[in-house]
Amino acid sequence: MKIVDDTALREILAGLPDGATVAVSGAGGGLLEPDVAFRSFEASFKATGHPKSLTLVHALGMGDRKEKGINRFAHPGMVKRVIGGHWVWSPRMLAMAQRNEIEAYCLPSGVLTQLFREIGAKRPGLFTHVGLGTFCDPRLQGGRCNEAATEPVVELIEIDGKDVLRYLPFKVDVAVVRGTAIDAQGNITAREEPADLDSYDIALAAKASGGIVIAQVREEVEAGAIRPREVSIPGNLVDFALIAPSQTQTYHGPYSAALAGLSRDGERFDTMPENHLVRRIVAERAYRELEKGATINFGFGMSAGVAEIVARKGERKDYWFTIEQGIHGGQLLTGDLFGIAAHAGAIMSSAQQFDLYSGGLLDQTYLGLAEMDGEGSVNVSHFGGQVSGPGGFIDISQGARRVVFCGSFDAKGARLSVSGGKLNIDRHGDVRKLVPRVEGITFSGPEAVRRGQRVTYVTERAVFELGSEGVELTEIAPGIDLEADILARIGFRPIIREPRTMAPELFRDIVEKVA
């Protein structure tokens, strides 16, 4: 292991072969993101034109939606291909993909994390059910996200009479990871970080491929200062270490013991405002689907409101909370810090967490609902010809026994209010979310039926259930007209038997009207 400064690192990067594959670890909000090292990549390319024509691979999205993270690589000629699990944190790279300036692929975050592990063990790719029936399935898009992406990255095979996807392995020339500190033997610890993510798996994949590992850390410590069980990447996997004393825990502040799981009480963090009308109604209705003692995952957005209700009621001990970044328990944070928990009960690698999900050990998951269709399929990844990526959505939704989707009935300009225990539609939204056919299949309704999953779709004005016969309308908000406010506003005809009225207490008076 060699300690390098920015100048030395830039010299190393300028000497990388054209077309090298770079795998990077990190997540949104600056979580475990080695942005100081990324800055060296960017500076080297601007000064010398190298490294160029890179293949960039990242399981989770990272960046500040402006300059940091994956945005550092979004320069013409610097990157040829990107395989990402989540893209929204990098609008620059998204724009390049939309203009076909790069080959753009999108695969599930768990698939990419576990594929790194398979590459590191020199196994012949990742064989899994995750992605069947979704846009990752080669019978659909095969993970391709623009016209420039033509090469296959996944194939359909049959094992023991069952369809399975094989995600193809690739060589990793450079791994870029991050930790809190490195000792004189090269051991890295992430003990003061909120997660471990896939750092070890990425480093292993690079070394097994004959590549190099670059680690960004906050400080160097003496040999023995890192306890063996605190080592996240052993020194024999590390080639170069960049010391970044200004490294922060996230984009939103200095190091917090609470976010690293190093304190049990004290610091608290803001949650969703209770007076957001639609979010409150959806979260409170979805909360009623919770099963005591269940192992649960909460996704980004409106579904996270269910976890906040549980926290406010003091009921966290009644459930086992998880998120794909490897967190168990604690106070789940939202917004840009989604994927982090304060006072976590356990912090595992994301590869281990995705194993739990893939293995069917998740009782319930609460996920966002951006678009759904009459087959019960859901889209959270493709909009207006632009890919945002699924993150862990596909891995989680396919592995859970019980799936609850949470979202507003429509979008853009909708105005609603409540009075007398009823919901009033003051203005319908301009964008319909219940459509004849979703733009991209992030969750396949037919596959869910085949797997025997129970699936519920919760909106503020109606609740739907997926069954063998299709999507059924099971509940209607009080004050809502079935024909005018629901059927005339969706792109398919649901099954209608005897829909119940949603509980009036969900529609208690609230002062503020919310668009």
Closest CA to 99 of 148, 37, 163, 30: 148
Residue 429 has pLDDT above 80, yes or no: yes
Q: Is the pLDDT of residue 84 over 60?
A: yes
What average pLDDT does this structure show over 428-437? Answer: 95
Q: Which of 476, 481, 471, 474 shows the shortest CA–CA distance to 460?
A: 476
Q: What pLDDT is attached to residue 194?
A: 96
Q: How far apart are CA 372 and CA 243, in angstroms?
A: 47
Does residue 512 have a pLDDT over 60?
A: no
Q: How many residues are there in the chain?
A: 515
427 pLDDT more than 60: yes
Return the structure tokens found at 356: 């739990």
- 338 pLDDT tier (thresholds 50, 70, 90): confident
Domains and CATH numbers, the chain: 2-243 (3.40.1080.10), 277-409+433-477+498-504 (3.40.1080.10)
Could you write out the three-class secondary structure of 36-91?
Answer: HHHHHHHHHHHHHCCCCCEEEEECCCCCCCCCCHHHHHCCCCCEEEEEECCCCCCH
Question: Per-residue pLDDT averaged across 157-181, rounded?
Answer: 97
Active-site position among 193, 284, 324, 475: 324
| Average pLDDT taken over every residue of the chain | 94
Residue 498 CB contacts under 8 Å (≥ 6 apart), including other chains: none
Question: What is the secondary structure of 296-319 as a DSSP string?
Answer: EEE-SGGGHHHHHHHHHTT-GGGS
- Given a contact cutoff of 8 angstroms between Cβ atoms, the answer to whether 147 and 100 are in contact is yes
Q: What is the pTM (predicted TM-score) of this model?
A: 0.94
Task: Please give the C-alpha separations between residue 289 and each of 284, 364, 365, 399, in angstroms, as whole numbers.
Answer: 9, 9, 10, 18
Q: Is 308 a catalytic residue?
A: no
pLDDT digits (tens, 9 = 90+) for 220-234: 999 999 999 999 999
Six token digits for residue 262? 């190093």
Q: pLDDT value at position 270?
A: 57
